[in-house]
Chains A and B, each alone.
Chain A
Amino acid sequence: MKRTITITINGEARNVDVSPSDVLLSVLRDRLGVTSPKEGCGRGDCGSCTILLDGKIVRSCLILAIEADGHDIVTIDGLGKDGATKLQKALIANNAFQCGFCASGIILAATALLEKNPSPSEEEVKEALSGNLCRCTGYQPIIDTILEVSRS
């Protein structure tokens, strides 16, 4: 049974017909063309599908599209809509990412952290990123950049 839901994505209300079993990540990627959240595992292990749902970190592979009906989603495209954020600028300047596949999830997780806790300790940064796997960077350049931005 298809149902029309409305999700606000990066400030724009979008309607889409979904089945009750449709996963939010695949609706975003395959139906709405929002491909910046990536699928790395499809079972909540990697964090590459991270989005902000009403400002909170959510793994979009773990929730159904209908659960997002009427809610507000921010992806990395929305974060940088008016140009790179301070954090994004610093990550670019520091060559913090490599293949970039994890970047959208990690940057959203870091953004949510800094919003809640503008001057986190190194331990708090590590804790906040611990649900996002990165196979390339060894995390340290990303952690250092987040701390650098929070201290500036």
Chain B
Amino acid sequence: MSDLKYVGTSTVRVDGAPKVMGAATYVDDMDFGGNLIYAQVVESPHAHALIKGIDTSEAEAVPGVIRVVTGEEFPFTFGLYMQDRYVFARDRVRFVGEQVAAVLSRDPRIAMAAAKLVKVDYEVLPNVLDLGDALKNDAVLVHENLADYEHVPWFFPRVNTNIAHWRKTRKGDIKKGFAEADVIIEDTYEVPRYAHCPIEVHAIVGLYDHSGRLTLWSGSQSPFTQRNVIAEALKPLGLSHHQVRVITPFVGGGFGGKAGVSMEIIAAAVAMVVRGNPVKVLWSRAQEFYNTYQRQGVLARVKLGAKKDGTITAIEHDLHWDAGAYVEYGANVVNAVGLSATGAYRVPNVKIDSLCVYTNLPPGGPYRGFGYSEFHFGLESHMTRMAKQLGMDPIEFRRKNAIRGGDTLCYGAEMNENGLLEAIDKVSDAIEWGTKEESADENKVIGKGFSCFWKAPAMPPNASSAAFLKFNEDGSINITVSGMELGQGYLTVMAQVVAEVLTVPPNKIRVETPDTDRNPYEWQTVASHVTWSCGNAVKKAAVEAKEKMIDVVHRARGFDKDDLYLDDEKVKSKSDASFELPFSEFVINGIMTEDGTFRGGPIVSSGMFMPEFASALSDPETSQGGHPNVHYTVGAAGVIVEIDKDTGKMHIKRAVLAVDAGKALNPSLVNGQIVGGMLQGIATVLYEEIKFDKNGKLVNCNFTDYKLPTSLDVPDEVIPIIIEVEQPDGPFGARGIAEHTMIPAAGMIANAVEDALGIRLKTLPITAEKVALALNGINYEDVRGDFMGLCFMGDREKYDFDAVRQT
């Protein structure tokens, strides 16, 4: 692999110039003319209530209002993995902010004013806002008709409870495992909800034209999945897949929040009833917070057993997820964690229970890391605590238990080869582990923290990717794929893969953003899987094109196929050094033979990839027997944190992250993911926190009250480290790395705080305020007041994880 020319180089992004020159187009930048209708959503003020009636007459009487639509017109459910969502709330509302109706007008200000005139008659119901209430034996049910919802075969809902899914994983003999342990540590950790906060809010325009076609211009991570979910949902209105077209221009950040289908269903459904008029649904920043997806909260109990020599004998991990009002996507986050909550360690005896719990809060869903950031907080805190209790060095303890290629995973399949040990060592060196640092300021102390991480793509076993490739007259190339450029650099990397196979430089390769009419299938741009999966499809398309080119030259010029190769945008012969045919001379018009006839024609090709070895079928009681995860990406991270003992203010002096990319197809883009993902992760620990009032209303849905890091909050130094242990079934050995870069943040910072101050914080975020309170011996929970960002309002120590087993 040493003679790679384009793969492995820090090629300039193919979308760099459009973005830096201001030419990149996002959905809300598109012009739909004077016919455009704006849909303003009427929202529920209640967390849980029955809708007794909706009076639209006053709103409809406002001049300029075209009409008002309500859930009556759309009696369908929809959802990605479980069909538990509605276009508009119908009989009941399940969270504050849920869409109940929409007012349509060509003037957005009229729509907004008239939305306030829609009168909804509610009968307020008791609600469940935290896990304690949701899991009580006589709990109020968020979905009384859970039994009716269609779902994927790997979900196990508990009818007549708020448990939408329960993933159980069992390996070895858990009792024996703890019996063999010399030390057992058990504790509970709590992670609140978070918001994705892409700087571009959700925006979609839908047009159902008079020929019966529905076109959606959508800022989406998942054009094909959107088409599928929407076509399935609106089938009763007479739509079929080929009549639905999703076009996705550039997306201004996704982080999981623009995957699947959330608010997009509104534009699609409303467009169906105002045929011939494009309809725009543009979320406000506040709506972006409370009515897309949120990262779910979790209460996690970790019980870890180890022998005196540092060998882990058993882990029991209970995770109760506050999944919100609809879990059509979020339940799969819960599922993914249920299969992987051992972390990147070899553990012989495992018991994991991961429960997806309905609450009357905004729908949970995918967020960069897909549940792994959440469980790593408790697990990696525990790893350091266990090492200390054993009298071992925390990094040495991790090293000793690090998972290796060939180890048996907790669901029975085999772990892929990986560079975890190398990552551990390199990060350890980079944070100068073992040397204690003193702050120059005597009011400040310095601590170091460490965390390993791992993550597998969470996807259906048949999630696939496809690619089309075509040459142009001058030998340049267009490829079409339907992964989404979210900023990660996917388009550039796809161009590099083609460049490598066909010897055409990336700057002569155009890669388009998706249009489901013209581009081939891609499941979704999530799970950090497109480099791997779509990269394989693109590589196959390039190889097919290469074979076609060699075949044409063979047929026209008589060279053996084996004798021909591609180099420098030409077909060349090994045996005849004088022969070279530039691509531009034949890739469209073919090659003329002696009698004036031509061979060849436009070179077009396609490629497809599906992981045919994956399977989600397994024993529901143990998860044994399947192969749900295609592979894991692993790594390690560390920080050096300086803490002010008076204010609790933390300052990151150095942050280091090493990730095993298999093969970094573009090191500059990998580094970009590390630097950006680390700050996003650090922000969830130091600054961000969603807060609800005691009625379930999100109170800090703007950037003044929900603090994102600015340029003033960057660490003094970020050191990205790339490890490359080849992924044999990846394109040029590559696997995904994008989500992983935020996973270790919470564990490593919590460990650094303890290292510096001797304080163990078990709830996120770890704000300056909490640190300062802890330093003064005050329990944050005693002073936090009515605002809840937590998924359990009671005393965490008293939360009864076992009560639920009786249900």
Contacts and interface: CB of A to CB of B under 8 A. Distances in A.
Interface of A: 29, 33, 35-36, 38-43, 45-46, 48, 75-77, 79-80, 84, 88, 91-104, 107, 125-127, 129-143
A50 to B, nearest CB: 12
B118 interface: no
Nearest to B669: A95
Interface stretch (B86-94, B497-505, B547-555, B710-718): B710-718
Given A97-B16, A100-B250, A40 B201 contact: yes
B675 A133 contact: no
Nearest to B677: A138
A141 B284 CA distance: 29
A44 B718 CA distance: 29
B250 A99 contact: yes
B205 to A, nearest CB: 13
Interface string B8-40: 001011011111111011101101000000000
Interface in B176-207: 197-201
B347 interface: no
Contacts of A43: 285, 702, 704
Contact of B198 (A75, A94, A101, A130): A101
Given A99-B200, A139-B714, A41 B18 contact: no
B712 A88 contact: no
B13 A95 contact: yes
Interface stretch (B336-344, B352-360, B486-494): B486-494
A81 B113 CA distance: 40
Given A77-B22, A92-B17, A99 B486 contact: yes
Interface of A is mostly: loop
Contact of A92 (B20, B24, B679, B714): B20
Nearest to A123: B712
B255 interface: yes
Contacts of B240: none
Contacts of A102: 199
Contacts of A77: 21-22
Given A41-B703, A84-B21, 13 more contacts: A29-B29, A40-B285, A45-B704, A75-B22, A76-B21, A76-B22, A95-B669, A97-B19, A98-B672, A99-B198, A130-B712, A138-B677, A139-B679
B678 interface: yes
Interface in B366-422: none
B134 interface: no
Contacts of A88: 20-21
A78 to B, nearest CB: 9
Contacts of A143: 711, 714
Contacts of B254: 99
Nearest to A77: B22
Nearest to B18: A100
Residue in A33, A75, A136, A142 whose Cβ sees the most chain B Cβ within 10 Å: A136
Contacts of A48: 199
A97 B703 contact: no
A39 B489 CA distance: 23
B703 A103 contact: no
B128 interface: no
Contact of A138 (B10, B15, B679, B704): B679
A100 B12 contact: no
Interface in B243-272: 250-255
Top 5 A-B pairs, shortest CB-CB distance: A100-B19, A98-B487, A101-B252, A99-B487, A76-B22
Contacts of B678: 138
Interface in B460-499: 486-489
B668 interface: yes
Contacts of B24: 100, 103
